[in-house]
Amino acid sequence: MTAFLQLEGIEKQFGAFTALRSIDLDVQAGEFVCFLGPSGCGKTTLLRIVAGLEAQSAGRILQAGRDISTLPPSQRDYGIVFQSYALFPNLSVADNVAYGLVNRRTPRAKANVRVAELLQLVGLPGSQDKFPAQLSGGQQQRIALARALATSPGLLLLDEPLSALDAIVRVHLRQEIRSLQRQLGVTTIMVTHDQEEALSVADRIVVMNHGVIEQVGTPQQVYREPASAFVADFVGRVNVLPALTEAGGVVRVGQTAFDCSHTLPAGREVKVYLRPEDVLATPTAGSGSAGAESVNAFEVQVEKVEFLGAYCLARVGGAALGEHRLQVVLSLDFLTRHGLETGRPLRLSVLPGRLRIFGDA
């Protein structure tokens, strides 16, 4: 199946600085794709190249089989929503939404019908006569989204559209955007540095770092099966433990053996990546000083408990881990039932298959 949007060998140079290197990506029709990565990784530059707002140094772009690599923005089939909304303050809501339709010489009566439809779609019916300054941030973003959709584009580009909003509004609006995207079936690319945002709305995530793509996959694949140490460290919370490989697919951290089912030679220094929620905890009456009794199971002592609302994050350590420390997710119910506090012993085990090892330590 031919992809709706194809990026082939995209590169971008700013003088001696390489912003993008050998970017190859296919986006399917109707797909919601997130470009995710830290500031300066090249995700916004890549979005601007797709939009024609920036010219690539090499490579080409195909949209619906059409080569748009050198076309100006006005000749590309997309709508875009910017981080700053970019609404015209001197125009009414209706005129902002209809801006693209007017440029295409759409009859006014037809444009008015389309504006009313879109305002209903984004949850702001009857706001045609208001001005941007009379709207909240979330409402302004809805208007910017309606404007981007006015011409029924084949591609919707979102450049960190929610980063300027309050946390509660951001969570609510991202779900509205995702619901709207599914309803319309419009192919969508969103740039974000918010991992939770990408994990919650994307069909696929493109993780970027230093101008290259580290991994492309579903949210579950990127989170559970990171392709590199960067992805494991950047997406979600993770423990990183220096370890030494042993025979039989085992690595050792302090006194504790972990079965990683690796095929590396013994004696190699690596780093083990383990998410806090993948550690199972059991209270124990022991002293907390015992070493590991079996592979993937060990005893520790609680050093600190951080309350995070829906759950707690406990920092644990002990002889079993040597000088290293782990963060473990614990429910409030677990803490209450077992009276867990600083200094108490805790028995831990690691879920099989949840450990990842990468590179030299």
Grade residue 292 by pLDDT with cuts at 50, 70 and 90.
very low
35 and 123 part of one domain: yes
Q: How many domains does the chain have?
A: 2
Distance CA 84, CA 353 (A): 43
User: For residues 260 and 290, which has the higher predicted lDDT (pLDDT)?
Assistant: 260
Say if residues 154 and 77 touch (Cβ distance below 8 Å): yes
Q: Which residues pair with 25 in a beta bridge?
A: 7
Domain C-terminal end among 234, 254, 283: 234
Q: Other CB atoms closer than 10 Å to residue 282's CB: what's the count?
A: 12
- Percent of the chain scored above 90 by pLDDT? 74
Chain segment 17-58, per-residue pLDDT in tens: 999 999 999 999 999 999 999 999 999 999 999 999 999 999
pLDDT value for 360: 56
Chain segment 320-353, per-residue pLDDT in tens: 898 999 999 999 888 888 888 888 899 999 977 8
pLDDT value for 285: 54
Q: Is the pLDDT of residue 288 over 50?
A: no
pLDDT value for 295: 74
pLDDT value for 7: 98
Domain C-terminal end among 174, 201, 234: 234
Can you tell me the mean pLDDT for 174-198? 94
173 and 262 part of one domain: no
pLDDT value for 204: 98
78 and 169 part of one domain: yes
307 and 207 part of one domain: no
pLDDT value for 287: 43
Of the candidates 317, 309, 312, 320, the residue with the CA atom closest to the CA atom of residue 338:
312
Q: pTM of the prediction?
A: 0.90
245 and 230 part of one domain: no
User: For residues 260 and 61, which has the higher predicted lDDT (pLDDT)?
Assistant: 61
Chain segment 70-122, per-residue pLDDT in tens: 999 999 999 999 988 889 999 999 999 999 999 889 999 999 999 999 999 99
pLDDT value for 20: 97
Distance CA 359, CA 361 (A): 7
Tell how strand 32-36 and strand 204-209 pair up: parallel
pLDDT value for 197: 93
pLDDT value for 338: 83
Q: What angle do CA 273, 274, 278 make, to 5 degrees?
A: 160
Say if residues 273 and 320 touch (Cβ distance below 8 Å): no
195 and 294 part of one domain: no
User: For residues 353 and 223, which has the higher predicted lDDT (pLDDT)?
Assistant: 223
SS3 of 248-290: the string is HHEEEECCEEEECCCCCCCCCEEEEEECHHHEEEEECCCCCCC
Domain C-terminal end among 200, 234, 268: 234
User: For residues 82 and 294, which has the higher predicted lDDT (pLDDT)?
Assistant: 82
DSSP state of 191: E
Q: What is the CATH number of the domain that holds 287?
A: 2.40.50.100
Say if residues 267 and 280 touch (Cβ distance below 8 Å): no
272 and 354 part of one domain: yes
Say if residues 99 and 132 touch (Cβ distance below 8 Å): no
Q: Is the pLDDT of residue 291 over 50?
A: no
User: For residues 351 and 244, which has the higher predicted lDDT (pLDDT)?
Assistant: 244
pLDDT value for 62: 97
pLDDT value for 35: 98
Q: CA distances (Å), 356 to each of 9, 290, 291, 325, in order? A: 30, 25, 23, 17
User: Given strand 239-246, what is the order of strands in its sheet?
Assistant: 256-259, 250-253, 239-246, 269-274, 356-358
Range of the domain at 225: 5-234
Average pLDDT, the chain: 91
Q: Is the pLDDT of residue 272 over 50?
A: yes
pLDDT value for 290: 43
211 and 314 part of one domain: no
Grade residue 164 by pLDDT with cuts at 50, 70 and 90.
confident
- Percent of the chain scored above 70 by pLDDT? 96
295 and 186 part of one domain: no
296 and 195 part of one domain: no
Sequence length of the chain is 361
Q: Kindly calculate the radius of gyration of the chain based on its CA atoms and give it in whole angstroms.
A: 25
24 and 143 part of one domain: yes
Q: What is the CATH number of the domain that holds 123?
A: 3.40.50.300
Grade residue 169 by pLDDT with cuts at 50, 70 and 90.
confident
51 and 88 part of one domain: yes
The amino acid at residue 217 is G
